[in-house]
């Protein structure tokens, strides 16, 4: 039975926090599936980030799971498991302390468009949009022509990205793209004119190459207008 006098205070408190976090995450999954992360409170967003970290920690190739997974496991002693959890998730004196921000750097070949801390981003990738909160799993992904949404406390900003590459790890996000513009820096009249020209060029395009180039130009133009329209 899981009791402090039997397993020890540290083991008991760690196990209780794991159970509470995963249970709350389970309760939130229906809300996330229907409304998305945007509709969660700040506290619930942190719970989701913590739960995902816990799941990654518990999905390591433990020795006892080899018969179920078929993957060679490694034996990890109880004290080492508890210590690894506490160190990896910064549990100190019963408190879970995690990074509350991400450092986002958006680069083009010619300039730094953004280099500052953010609360959350929503990034357009070749496989769809992904939301990234603090303590996200490390990933590398291709970036599509599309919108980057950036949350600073209670304010959302937009940026038009023109395709590239992103790397996420250790609460650092580096986005290297062909070009990028903050929504607030885009001139509405110029963006609309560019969109109209792109639409006209596509209708007049001849041959496969011209059609591909015209389609890309149209996507870029639409993304800039969309970035403007999303400014709140």
166-216 confidence digits (pLDDT tens):
999 888 999 999 999 999 999 999 999 999 999 999 988 888 899 999 999
At residue 93 the predicted structure's pLDDT band, cuts being 50, 70 and 90, is: very low
Average of per-residue pLDDT across 114-122? 91
At residue 96 the predicted structure's pLDDT band, cuts being 50, 70 and 90, is: very low
The residue among 222 and 64 whose pLDDT is bigger is 222
Q: Which CATH architecture best describes the domain 188-229?
A: Orthogonal Bundle (1.10)
Q: What are the backbone angles phi and psi of residue 187, rounded to the nearest 5°?
A: -80, 120
CA distance 114 to 176: 11
**Kind and range of the H or E run holding 130:** strand 128-132
Q: How long, in residues, is the chain?
A: 232
At residue 97 the predicted structure's pLDDT band, cuts being 50, 70 and 90, is: very low
CA 91 to the chain's CA centroid: 23
Comparing C-alpha atoms, which of 144, 162, 228, 158 is closest to residue 193?
A: 228
Average of per-residue pLDDT across 15-43? 79
pLDDT, tens digit, 9 for 90 and up, residues 31-59:
777 777 777 777 787 778 777 777 776 66
All CATH 1.10.287 domain ranges of the chain, comma separated, are 188-229
CA distance 45 to 43: 5
pLDDT for 105 equals: 95
Report the CATH fold assignment for 102-184.
ATP Synthase; domain 1 (2.60.15)
Q: Which CATH architecture best describes the domain 4-96?
A: Orthogonal Bundle (1.10)
CA 211 to the chain's CA centroid: 33
Q: Among the residues of the chain, which ranges form H helices?
A: 4-7, 9-35, 42-58, 66-69, 78-88, 188-204, 207-229
Average of per-residue pLDDT across 62-66? 60
Q: At what angle do helices 78-88 and 42-58 cross, to 10 degrees?
A: 150
Average of per-residue pLDDT across 86-115? 72
All CATH 2.60.15.10 domain ranges of the chain, comma separated, are 102-184
Residue 173, beta-bridge partner list:
104, 168
Q: Residue 99: pLDDT above 60? A: no
Max mean pLDDT range (5-19, 78-92, 127-141): 127-141
CA distance 58 to 158: 36
């Amino acid at each position: 039975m899981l009791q402090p006098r039997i397993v020890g205070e540290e083991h008991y408190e760690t196990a209780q926090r794991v159970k509470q976090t995963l249970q709350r995450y389970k309760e939130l999954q229906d809300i996330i599936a229907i409304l998305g992360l945007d509709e969660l409170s700040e506290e619930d967003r942190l719970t989701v980030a913590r739960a995902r970290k816990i799941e990654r920690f518990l999905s390591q190739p433990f020795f006892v799971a080899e018969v179920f997974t078929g993957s060679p496991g490694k034996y990890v002693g109880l004290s080492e498991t508890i210590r690894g959890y506490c160190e990896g998730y910064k549990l100190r004196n019963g408190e879970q302390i995690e990074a509350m921000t991400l450092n986002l750097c958006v680069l083009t070949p010619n300039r730094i468009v953004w280099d500052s801390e953010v609360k959350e981003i929503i990034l357009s990738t070749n496989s769809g949009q992904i939301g990234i909160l603090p303590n996200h799993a490390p990933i590398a992904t291709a970036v599509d022509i599309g919108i980057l949404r950036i949350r600073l406390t209670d304010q959302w900003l937009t940026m038009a990205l023109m395709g590239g590459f992103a790397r996420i790890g250790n609460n650092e996000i580096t986005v290297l793209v062909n070009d990028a513009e903050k929504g607030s820096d885009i001139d509405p009249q110029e963006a609309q004119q560019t969109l109209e020209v792109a639409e006209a060029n596509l209708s007049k395009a001849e041959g496969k190459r011209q059609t591909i180039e015209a389609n890309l130009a149209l996507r870029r133009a639409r993304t800039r207008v969309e970035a403007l329209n999303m400014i709140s």
